[in-house]
Amino acid sequence: MIIATIVLAVSVAAGCAGLIALAARDGRAYAIAAPLLFGALLLWCWEVVCLGFGVPRVLLPAPSGIAQAFVANLPTLWADFVQTVIRAVVPGYLIGCGAGYLTAIALDRSAFLRRGFLPLAGLLGAMPIVGIAPIMVMWFGFDWPSKAAVAAVMTFFPMLINTVAGLSTTGALERDLMRSYGASYWQTLLKLRLPAALPYVFIALKLNFTLALIGAIVAEFFGTPIVGMGFRISTEAARLDLDVVWAEIALAALTGSACFAALALLERAVLFWHPSFQKFALSKP
């Protein structure tokens, strides 16, 4: 107990000193190192507190215990991952984002429909949409289609709203230029307006993956076959097997962050021409 207190105090002091030193310097490497050190310090303190003060495992397992549980339960975790992410989240995400994108382009043709739909879409988008999970379970059954449906509905509105906003970003000057080239509506759309809308589309794409993951996991609380991340979390939590629950949460967090990072890289690759990704972009005054 005393040793743990000393270790904790020393590591917190050393860590803080290190953080202050790192944060005081400019440069990309330091900007990456500082949060990494912070995360490592947090994990270390968690470990020391759990082991040193004998925190019961049913309350908070130590990171090392979670890591062990992660490795020991790899086959289960993989089965849950396939069920929840590959079977439910990915199709739901693709369907929801695709439908939102296409609906936005369709609405773009008619000012009347846009004025009619957009306020309602904004309203619906602000609603607690996860609540439709029990209805979807009733309609599409216990297996993955109902989870994919929740994910699709949840991702639809952000994509729709963002794409519509993105399509309206092109200025009169650019559109006039396209007109002077004699470009048709579709040419203007494909060559000017859809590329210009891409930054907005990527905002929705990055935001939506987590939404889809949340939708699928919450939908599993309403009934599932005996596999899946949401199912595992709720049943293992009820059995007080918190190592496994934390391992599952770590898996969900890794999935969410990895997909976010992948989408951010894709954005960089696709939008290399956009001012916000130019190296010598004009900075904000």
Partner 1 sequence: MNDALRRAAPIVVVLAATIVVWYAAAVAMNLSAAQALAGTGAGPGAVARAAWSLDRPLLPAPHQIAQTLFTGVFTEPVTSPRSLVYHAAVTAGTALLGFGLALVLGIALAVAIVGTRTLDRSLMPWVIASQTIPVLAIAPMVVVVLGNIGLSGILPKALIAGWLSFFPITTAMVTGLRAPDRMQFDLMRTYNAGNRDVFMQLRWPASMGFLFAGVKVAATLALVGAIVAELPTGAQAGLGARLLAGSYYGQTLQIWAALVMAALLTLLAVGATDAAQRVLVARRGGRL
Site residues for partner 1 per CB under 8 A: 16, 19-20, 22-24, 30-31, 34-35, 37-39, 58-60, 112-117, 119-120, 123, 126-128, 130-135, 137-139, 209-210, 213-214, 217-218, 221-223, 229-230, 233-234, 237-238, 240, 242, 245-246, 248-249, 252-253, 256-257, 259-260, 285
Round to the nearest angstrom and report the end-to-end CA distance of the chain. Answer: 54
Residues 6 or more apart whose CB falls under 8 angstroms from that of 164 comprise 104, 107, 108, 114, 118
Minimum separation from the CB atom of position 278 to partner 1 (A):
22
Residue closer to partner 1 (CB basis): 8 or 23: 23
Residue closer to partner 1 (CB basis): 38 or 277: 38
How crowded is residue 280: how many other Cβ atoms within 10 Å of its Cβ?
Answer: 5
Minimum separation from the CB atom of position 3 to partner 1 (A):
25
Residue closer to partner 1 (CB basis): 35 or 179: 35
Nearest CA-CA partner of 259 in 99, 120, 59, 81: 81
Residue closer to partner 1 (CB basis): 114 or 193: 114
Residue closer to partner 1 (CB basis): 69 or 213: 213
Q: Measure the CA–CA gap between 132 and 158, rounded to whole angstroms.
A: 17
How crowded is residue 112: how many other Cβ atoms within 10 Å of its Cβ?
Answer: 8
Q: Are 212 and 92 in contact (CB under 8 A)?
A: yes
Q: Measure the CA–CA gap between 217 and 233, rounded to whole angstroms.
A: 9
Q: Measure the CA–CA gap between 243 and 30, rounded to whole angstroms.
A: 33
Minimum separation from the CB atom of position 215 to partner 1 (A):
9
Q: Measure the CA–CA gap between 25 and 11, rounded to whole angstroms.
A: 21
Residue closer to partner 1 (CB basis): 68 or 235: 235
Collapsed DSSP state (helix, strand, coil) of residue 183 = coil
Kindly provide the b/e burial profile for residues 19-58, where b requires at least 16 CB atoms within 10 angstroms of the residue's own CB: beebeeeeeeeeeebbeebbeebeebebbbbbebeeeeee
Minimum separation from the CB atom of position 206 to partner 1 (A):
8
Minimum separation from the CB atom of position 148 to partner 1 (A):
16
Minimum separation from the CB atom of position 35 to partner 1 (A):
4
Residue closer to partner 1 (CB basis): 197 or 241: 241
Helix (H) or strand (E) segment spanning residue 106: helix 90-109
Minimum separation from the CB atom of position 224 to partner 1 (A):
12
